[in-house]
Amino acid sequence: MSTQLEALRRHTTVVADTGDFEVMRALRPTDATTNPSLILKAVQQEAYRPLLEAVVRDHPQAGLPELTDRLLVAFGRRILDIVPGRVSTEVDARLSFDTRATVERARGLMALYEAAGVPRERVLIKIAATWEGIQAARVLQAEGVRCNLTLLFSLAQAAACAQARVQLISPFVGRIYDWHKKNAGAQWNEAAQAGENDPGVQSVARIFAYYKAYGIDTEVMGASFRNVGQILALSGCDLLTISPDLLKQLDQTPGDAPRRLAAAPAGTARPAPIAQEEAAWRALLNEDAMASEKLSEGIRLFVADARKLDALLQQGRA
């Protein structure tokens, strides 16, 4: 009998959500995603410390932003030696509300990859799905730089990303689940809210259905999982990016992973289109307490880890 991971691969592209090279070698994902938190976690391990030290040593005159980007690209290049597909590399979250700075930083990251001989199609530039981030992605996509819009919690964000023709979005299942569970408090019923009834799963399913109904090419990659049940409930999603612990659990569990998501049959009524003018979009996001709060919180957390990474780079220079 096949494992759940093998079965899942029949319907969905499996992506590793980690900076750990050994996990990738063992579990053979197609793609890999990174973020400031994952890179920070990796460089604090003895096995990966030499990468940070080499970046600092080889670029003594570089400022912190350049050092950070060179470190991210160093990780990305190593990852691409392992996975056959793409790596996602994130723009500094401190630029999440600055369209121009995001575009420039993304161009710089892509230039570093291309200087190392990495073709564009193997890199996704991760950007927070703020209004400013989505507009930056619109510019970059027009230039042939593929983007992965992250910290995505609502259909409004997803619809704007589709209009900007981004390559891929990463709706965060687990963080949506976290918000609803905390908000419900003592009224939360874990069994009743599991699997297809999980609010995070339902959010991704709505986005997937919207995209397929309108023939949108942007890829949907469920992210930020808390348990295997959430993953299996999204079998059939274009991609799923999964942490090492959950990848191992799937790999060690015999069983099936039947398709749960699929395009609606022809003739099915389409959902109402989402308004995409800036004011209307901001109003929609503001009305969604969960999406507004989790987007802001996610940016703050990534900024905090970016600052910790800055401190490690500065220590490396000492």
As a whole number of angstroms, the distance between CA 36 and CA 304 comes to 9
> Going by C-beta distance under 8 Å and a sequence separation of 6 or more, which residues neighbour residue 278?
131
- Can you give the C-alpha Rg of the chain in angstroms? 19
Amino acid at 308: K
CA distance 129 to 145: 16
Active-site residue (options: 41, 126, 182, 248): 126
| E strand or H helix at 100 | helix 99-115
- Asked whether the beta carbons of 274 and 159 are under 8 A apart, the reply is yes
Helices (H), strands (E): how many in the chain? 14, 8
Structure-token pair, residue 215: 């023939």
Active site residue 126: yes
Q: Compute the distance between CA of residue 306 and CA of residue 318 in angstroms, rounded to an integer.
A: 19
Q: What are phi and psi of 124, to 5 degrees?
A: -115, 130
DSSP per residue, 4-69: HHHHHHTTSEEEEESS-HHHHHHH--SEEE--HHHHHHHHTSTTTHHHHHHHHHH-TT--HHHHHH
* Residues 54-58: contacts with CB under 8 Å, at least 24 apart: 55/313, 56/313, 56/316, 56/317
Q: Catalytic residue positions?
A: 126
